Structure 1
Amino acid sequence: MRGGAFTAAESARQDEPPTVEQATSLFMQVVLILGGGIVAGTLFMRIGLGTVLGYLFAGIMMGPVFQLIGEGKEILHIGELGVVFLLFIIGLELKASRLWALRRQIFGLGLTQVVLTGAALTGIAILFGMNWQAGVVIGFGLALSSTAFGLQLLEEAGETNTRHGQSAFSILLFQDLAVVPLLAAIPFLAPFSDGAEVDIERIALSIGAIVALLVVGKYLLNPLFRIMATSGAREVMLGAALFVVLGSAMLMEAAGFSMAMGAFIAGVLLAESSYRHELEANIEPFRGLLLGLFFIAVGLSLDLSVIADNWLMILVLTPVLMIVKAAFIYLLSRAFGQSHATAVRVSGLLAQGGEFGFVLFTASAASLIFPRETSSLLIAIVTLSMALTPLATWLARRFSIEHTEEETLEEDFEGAGSAVLMVGFSRFGQMAAQVLLSSGIDVTIIDSSAERIRNASKFGFRIYFGSGLRKDVLEAAGIRKAKLVAVCTNKRETTDRVVDLIRSEFPNVSLYVRSYDRSHALSLRARGVDFEIRETVESALAFGAATLDAFGIEEELADRIVEDVRRRDQARLKLQEAEGFYAGNDMVTTRVVTPEPLVKPRPSLQAIEKSADENGDTSPIDEGPPRKRRRGRPFAGRRRNFDKVQSR
């Protein structure tokens, strides 16, 4: 991957400016790539083979078969940025606490699988006549499985949180980590290397680049994002995200490592940042588009003549690869204490080759570790193994005797989302979060105010920067794995838009919402929220109860009065919900309680709710027909205690 995109750019600058015909041809190729990717990706997704194979098929059809597009090398260089963005997102998800929770499976099962499977496949490659450098790349490249395929199949089957899903995820996570040193090792394995003298200089430069990236990431990135977040301009945050990814990639590429390693390190440094979800949401569209372009370019670069000449070898080696990988994964899973059912399901899910194999084999061919024909042969084997993955998972399910009894884990992977997603960290949200956190319930909080995030961090709260009005931010914050979403935003208009978005895109999640006033509460109920409450209702009732205490009203009687007001308020809301806003006005009148605790207020104090208070409730109050005022003191015969006022 080193220098691919930049070498192409430099050579382009040395050529003559493109003519109109060349520009038209370029635009035509872009249209063909987009159209072919859309059609093939959608078709393959519908038949259950996944978009990766669809993009490969589109590239093969447009390139080697119909020759609609010429050489795919230039497109491949641009598509390599998709791998860069993918590793940045992987780094964002690798919080230290998450790695620690899965440490045994990641660094035990995952490490053992990569090392032993890679060593076995390396030995097989050497037996087929490869030198040891090519054998290492081939063996460890084929030892990797498809993260895109594995996670997609788990997600579609709803098995992400099962035991075999957790084990598969751990293995894939370590394989993603292993890609970084494997890519970094390619320049050292390549023939015609610069020698020992240059190696010392390269190592010193590499260490300096890593140290510089660590310092910048630790001390400058968070303040930089905080400053830009205060501007409120989404395009500024988007540009900053691209700058961080591409800048770190260029720095590491200049130091002799792969661009992917630089992006990965930058992602890890930002994994604990409050802006992690916003960064992931901004990068994700570019990652998907460019990674799709990469797979299309791989198809464009495929040499069908090599496949035609070696079709028998491909048909033989593909099942050999899948059987060897499945056997190693099964035995290692059993050695690490997994049940027979779990081991079979994991081995069937991860028996195929992975998309990172395309990256390793293509980069190795460019570095002359082995011929391009060998790269095409290996890519064909990996592609065929991917196509056979649905069949392998079906067979694994059939051979898994205990699969129907396998329990679903209650806990989720930390960092991938919490049980509760809170949108908006207002004063209301702060108190609600206190209740949840005190009960041991994990809460993911997002807010679009950089100032609020900075102030909350002083008190130990972890809040992520992001807008609840964006579907991609909600997904990055883990809404699909949340059991409940608490919308605690300040403005009524913002709350309505968040509720409409969640109800439209995520209809199965429970929605608890803070309402602005009575009319807003009715509007939210019409939108189908599971629970709503006006911010001032309970505080006003508590305040009223405290005033009753000041007048010496007995606690039991005061509780009855407050509960009666609360009950009638809810009954009135239900009536208004059914008959309209002005229904139930007569229910506002205080009902007679024996012994009667209250007297009718003076006429000047009747229209309490007609003034616009901070709650914004402007509904009229109908006091009903006047009642006769009782003679004598209103609290005669009851205990008074004007000196003792308790907050309730």
Structure 2
Amino acid sequence: MSVELYSPALSDALVILGAAGIVIPLFARFRITPIIGFIVVGLLVGPYGLGAHVPEFPWLIHFTITDPQSLGPFAEFGIILLLFTIGLELSFNRLWQMRKQVFGLGAMELLVCGAILAGVVYMMGGRPTGALALGLALAMSSTALVLRIVDTGTPVGKAALAMLLFEDIALVPIIFLLGALAPAAGSDLGDLLQTLWLGLLVILGLLAFGRFLLPQLFAQAARTKSPEVFLAASLLVVIVAALATAGVGLSPIVGALIAGLLIAETEYHGEVEAITAPFQGLALGIFLITIGMSIDVTAVWRDLGTILLATAGVLIIKALVTGLILRFTGAGSGTATETGILMSSPSETTLIVLTAALSAQLIAPETARFWQTVTALGMILTPLLALAGRRLARSVDVDAAAQQEPDVAERHAIIVGFGRVGRLVADMLANHGQAYVAVDSDADLIREGQRKGYSVIFGDAGRADALERLGAENATAVILTMDEPIAAQRIVKRLRGHYPDMPIICRARDASHAAQLYRAGASHAVPETLEASLQLSEAVLVDLGVAMGPVIASIHEKRDELRAQIMEEGELEEKPKLKSTTLSERLA
């Protein structure tokens, strides 16, 4: 009896798991996204890489993917799980709040980008129908990659999510449109309407049954206290929803998104998200490997100039159009810049639309292969584009913020540093009717603060003229909140030299740092460690039943005692106390 020692499926699994085990830690060590690593692995182990040399070196079969087509279902499952995770993060309330962005911004981005790209292809000699197909295909952006890179809670992430959701929704109508444009096509309008009608019924059915069945299903799974049962229930919901929408002609990712939205409304969404995350990452890795395997290095090298020119053209057109649309809809310069660059590369849905266009005979096989290569190259560049877009956006924000002049009252406080502590100080000043202006050199903090209505501008407080530009000569006080001990001491020393009577209140790391700030000329230095200890002591005493009045009095006495000790440590004579006893009164 002979035993089969070689199994193609096990060999492929070994390559995939080996890639995941090597690529993720290696790229994480160098702080590089594993997205590029998985694509490179696919390039190496695919039929155009080491797989092409298996006839010469048979032992290579153990390190290559023997059947690239067999990975297709796993790659599709990765995208389904990704959309399921997006649904978990959204919830129906958030999706309803985004409806104007999805069907306004998203539709505008897809249609305008598609029309311009189609026009460029047509002017280069393409047929009208083929140019339309290529324009719509290349206008798509990668849901699988973009949403792994960006935080959907940021302005950039919200804009990208709205556009990607509309593209996923529009995928099915686009494929029907291409089928209707085929030379041998019959009347597909009836089929399209039937699919949309059946799809609407299925979606309504999923929403209705999900509201009642899912809480009971996950409650039963939770009672078993078995992670395996909980995981099985989660995957069951995803697969059933995806199959339901796919069965009527819609994309399975629509069903996955709805499943995520339904579970997001239950109390089990956190556990579901955590337990399915590893499967999502691995399946997405398989998808990226299949992208790498589709790249024919020989063909790329042969047409390298044309491919690079086409890739650059697509990236530039999409980045400019998306950025301008965002600016037109009111987004900030930094947000528009970063989002435009992030959304500029083609995507996995581009490959789907290209396949549909090829099946409809709207484009030639050579044309399809060329743009598939451009798409794969663009997807490889996506993480690098995200990094470049983030840096360029910060530069744009800094330039815009540096040109702003503070619009505050003549008498105001100056907050140096607008992180966690600076924002809290600004809130307290505003609550007591005290004018202020905050300054920081972090463009992201400035953009977020201005969006929320804070009076904050860009500036480097370390420069001699920065605080003068903010009106330091008329300032009621300067509050230093940054966690940079040396820079804080320099600023205090310079301010005290120019403004001997100005109240300067500083954040200090500890007692030693506070002593150094007092030596430099600070009016008050507040050590974080000591304040935490005082607050902890106050909470303990109150919980033990001590009256609030005596507790507060003892805390103030201890604070004054510690302050005297710190000033003595700094070899300073205690400064005469300001006449008023509260910061609010000093600022008046």
Same fold (TM over 0.5): yes
2:35 paired with 1:52: yes
Q: 1:98 to 1:340 in 2, by over 3 A?
A: same
Residue number among 292, 295, 316 corresponding to 2:288 in the alignment: 295
Report the counterpart of residue 65 of structure 1 in structure 2.
Answer: 49
Letter of the 1:402 counterpart: D
Aligned counterpart for 1:270 among listed residues 263, 266, 272? 263
CA distance 1:251–1:169, change in 2 (3 Å): same
The equivalent of 2:166 in structure 1 is: 177
The CA deviation at 1:320 is 0.8
**Whole-angstrom CA distance in 2 between matches of 1:98 and 1:106:** 12
Q: Residues 344 and 400 of structure 1 are in contact (CA less than 8 Å); yes or no, is this contact kept in structure 2?
A: no
Q: Is the 8 A contact 1:59 1:298 kept in 2?
A: yes
Question: Of residues 399, 402, 413 in structure 1, which corresponds to 2:399?
Answer: 402
Would you say 1:87 and 2:83 are equivalent positions? Answer: yes
Separation in 1, partners of 2:122, 2:30: 38
**Matched residues in 2 for 1:130 and 1:532: separation?**
73
Aligned equivalent of 2:378? 385
Matched, 1:111 2:107: yes
Matched residue, 2:178: 189
Q: Distance in 2 between matches of 1:249 and 1:102?
A: 23
Q: Paired residue for 1:76?
A: 72
Residue 106 of structure 1 contacts residue 171 of structure 1 at CA under 8 Å; is this kept in 2? no
1:316 and 2:309 are equivalent in the alignment: yes
Partner of residue 207 from structure 2, selected from 184, 194, 214: 214
| Structure number having the greater helix percentage | 2
2:4 pairs with 20, 26, 39, which one? 20
Q: Find the aligned partners of 2:332 and 2:375 in 1 and give their Cα distance.
A: 28
1:89 CA drift (Å) = 1.5
8 Å contact from structure 1 (residues 306, 376) kept in 2: no
The alpha carbon displacement at 1:217 in A equals 1.5
The secondary structure found in structure 2 opposite 1:384 is: helix
Q: Where do 1:463-482 residues align within 5 Å? A: none
Q: Which residue identity lines up with residue 229 of structure 2 in the other structure?
A: V
In the alignment, what sits opposite 2:141? 145
Q: Which deviates more from structure 2 when the two are superposed, residues 78-87 or residues 174-183?
A: 174-183
Q: Which amino acid aligns with 2:164?
A: Q
Q: Over residues 381-410 of structure 1, what are the superposed CA-to-partner deviations in whole Å (9 max), with x where a residue is unaligned?
A: 234334251445545555665266641426
Q: Given that residues 59 and 295 in structure 1 are in contact (C-alpha distance below 8 angstroms), is that contact kept between their aligned partners in structure 2? A: yes
Structure 1 residues 88-97 or 304-313, which shifts more? 304-313
Q: Distance in 2 between matches of 1:122 and 1:95?
A: 35
Q: CA deviation at 1:249?
A: 1.0
Which amino acid is 2:116 matched to? A
SS of the counterpart of 1:95?
A: helix
Aligned AA (1:20) = E
CA displacement at 1:238 relative to structure 2? 0.9
Partner of 1:20: helix, strand, or coil? coil
Specify whether residues 342 and 239 from structure 1 end up closer, same or farther in structure 2 by C-alpha distance, changes over 3 A only: closer
TM-score by structure 2 length? 0.60
TM-superposed deviation, 1:347: 2.8
Name the structure 1 match of 2:433: none
Structure 2: tracts of 5 or more residues without a match = 52-63, 403-442, 453-531, 556-588
Amino acid at match of 2:345: Q
1:35 paired residue number: 18
The 8 Å contact of residues 42 and 289 in structure 2, kept in 1 or not, is answered as: yes
Instruction: Provide the secondary structure at the position in 2 that maps to 1:353.
Output: coil
1:354, distance to aligned residue in structure 2 (A): 3.4
Residue pair 2:142, 2:164 contacting (<8 A) in 1 also: no
* SS of alignment partner, residue 402 of structure 1: helix
Which one of 315, 328, 347 corresponds to residue 321 of structure 2? Answer: 328
Q: Distance in 2 between matches of 1:393 and 1:532?
A: 40
Residues 280 and 325 of structure 1: CA distance in aligned 2, closer, same or farther (over 3 Å): same
Question: Deviation digits for residues 74-103 of structure 1, max 9, x if unmatched?
Answer: 112221100111111122222343245555
2:65 counterpart letter in structure 1: I
Determine if contact 2:105/2:162 at 8 Å carries over to the other structure: no
Say whether the 8 Å CA contact 1:183–1:258 is kept in structure 2.
yes
CA contact (8 A) 2:337 2:392 kept: no
CA contact (8 A) 1:40 1:57 kept: no
C-alpha distance in 2, partners of 1:218/1:559?
A: 49
Is the 8 Å Cα contact of residues 40 and 55 (structure 1) preserved in structure 2? yes
Contact 1:72 1:298 (8 Å CA) reproduced? no
The equivalent position to 2:227 in structure 1, one of 219, 226, 234, is: 234
Q: Offset at 1:143?
A: 2.1
1:374 and 1:78, CA in 2 relative to 1: closer, same or farther beyond 3 A?
farther
Please give the residue correspondences for 1:391-430 in structure 2 after superposition, counting only pairs within 5 Å.
391=388, 393-394=390-391, 397-398=394-395, 402=399, 406=443, 407-409=446-448
Task: Verify the 8 A CA contact 1:184 1:257 in the aligned structure 2.
Answer: no
Q: Is 1:166 matched up with 2:205? A: no
Q: Quote the residue 1:519 is aligned against.
A: none
Change (3 A) 1:110 1:255: closer
Report what 2:117 is aligned to.
121
The whole-number CA distance in structure 2 between the counterparts of 1:333 and 1:198 is 35
Secondary structure, aligned partner of 2:264? coil
Aligned length: 414
CA contact 1:341–1:402 (8 Å) conserved in 2: no
Q: Deviations over 1:328-382 (max 9, x none)?
A: 1232222223344443333333333334434544566577765565444323323
User: Rg bigger for which structure?
Assistant: 1
Relative to structure 1, the CA distance from residue 222 to residue 352 in structure 2 (aligned partners, 3 Å threshold; closer, same or farther) is same
Residue 58 of structure 1 and its aligned partner are, at CA, apart by: 0.7
Task: Give the conservation status (yes or no) of the 8 Å contact 1:102–1:170.
Answer: no
Q: Distance in 1 between matches of 2:164 and 2:283?
A: 21
| SS at 2:344 equivalent | coil
Give CA-to-partner distance per residue, 1:28-61, whole Å, 9 cap, x none. Answer: 2211122234434455555565222221111011
Q: Residues 438-449 of structure 1: matches in 2 within 5 Å?
A: none
- 1:577-609 deviation line (CA, Å, top 9, x unaligned): xxxxxxxxxxxxxxxxxxxxxxxxxxxxxxxxx
Q: Deviations over 1:7-29 (max 9, x none)?
A: xxxxxxxxxxx982452x32122
Could you say if the C-alpha distance between residues 559 and 298 of structure 1 is closer, same or farther in structure 2, counting changes exceeding 3 Å?
closer
Question: In the TM superposition, what whole-angstrom CA distance separates every residue of 1:399-449 from its partner, at most 9, and x where no partner exists?
Answer: 665266641426999xxxxxxxxxxxxxxxxxxxxxxxxxxxxxxxxxxxx
- Letter paired with 1:32: V
Offset at residue 300 of structure 1 (A): 1.8
CA 1:340–1:356 in 2, change beyond 3 Å: closer, same or farther?
A: same
411 and 39 in structure 1: CA distance in 2 versus 1, 3 angstrom threshold? farther
Q: Output the amino acid matched with 1:70.
A: T
Determine the C-alpha separation between the residues in 2 that align with 1:117 and 1:255. 29
2:499 is matched with none
In structure 1, runs of 5+ residues without a counterpart are 1-17, 414-527, 546-557, 568-648
Report the Cα distance in structure 1 between the residues aligned to 2:242 and 2:77, rounded to whole angstroms: 9
